Amino acid sequence: MNPKMFDILCCPVCQGDVVLSDYEIACVKCHLRYPIEDGIPVMLAERARKSS
């Protein structure tokens, strides 16, 4: 995945910055995690899960 992609991604719940974490996208602010499917981050609140 192109790291530049993270410049344009943000958390749909809190608009916080996101980072790649264990094949998921993690919000650094509210700590929700978003899946990556076929290399595409799924930045949808209904698909997010709480990090443990």
Residues of this chain that interact with Zn ion (CB under 5 A) are 11, 13-14, 16, 27, 29-30
Find the shortest distance in angstroms from Cβ 48 to Zn ion.
8
Find the shortest distance in angstroms from Cβ 46 to Zn ion.
14
Phi, psi of 26 (to 5 degrees): -115, 135
- Residues belonging to the chain: 52
How many CB atoms sit inside 10 A of residue 45's CB?
A: 11
Tokens standing for 15? Answer: 């608009």
Is the Cβ of residue 38 or residue 43 nearer to Zn ion in the bound state? 43
